[in-house]
Amino acid sequence: MKRPIIGITCGTEYDSNQQAVADRLPRSYVRAVLAAGGAPLAIPNLKESETDALLDILDGLILSGGRDIAPSLYGSAEAHPSVELDHDRDTRELPLIRTAIEMDLPILAICRGVQSLNVALGGTLYQDLPTDRPSAVAHRQDAARDAATHSIAVHGASLLARSLGATELRVNSFHHQAVRQPAAALTVVGWAEDGLIEAVEMEGRRFVVGVQYHPEEMVGVCGASRQLFGALIAACG
């Protein structure tokens, strides 16, 4: 049986002059897709016309984690000092997301990916959680990548809950930004213990799910995270 081709967006590597020189993709995404039965394909930060040609051969799409999104793209005039930008990726990824949704490609958006999804559809972000929304929950952990450090609650009737096979989950956490105002097209379906939005999904599409945690880092220790990738692959059939 042919494996569905799953595109995975990449971050950008810059030289000392802030010129884009390469694209970067952690291997954990590749391994998670392979383990779930998919064929991973890295999507470089190309021109829109070039990316559209790649979208035509994909069965599904993962929006990966990475640097922060330019605040100007969601209506903020100034960037917080903690913000680390990836303009090259912003320019290319947001149009790609809109096109993929129009094509009804199954999409799993992870960490920066869920933030990109939200901004692409008109939502806003917290620029820096310690400044904008202080909390006792450590959203940027110092623990190992596969260590679960806080809990999330998932709406029982959601696609995400069915995909995970759970309505409560212990997750890892490596972010200082998050969804603030969700886009009108997205439904919030997951929350951290402090009420912060941790997951969204889009109705009327085969599979558009976004999570703030990094399930690709937890597939070796968390059955629900493995099931999430399996659900993406199943939606591609």
**Active-site residue, 111 included:** yes
Selecting among 139, 175, 176, 214, the annotated active-site residue is 214
Distances (CA, A) of 220 to 35, 117, 223: 10, 26, 8
In which element (H, E) is residue 30 found?
helix 27-36
**Paired strand residues for 12:** 23
- Which residue of the set 111, 150, 201, 217 is catalytic? 111
> Which residues fall within 8 angstroms of residue 168, CB to CB, at 6 or more apart?
151, 152, 153, 154
Q: What are phi and psi of 194, to 5 degrees?
A: -90, 5
Q: Which of 84, 104, 89 lies closest to 44, judged by CA?
A: 89
Give me the catalytic one of 93, 198, 201, 216: 216
The β-bridge relationship of strands 150-154 and 107-110 is unpaired
List residues with catalytic annotation.
Answer: 111, 214, 216
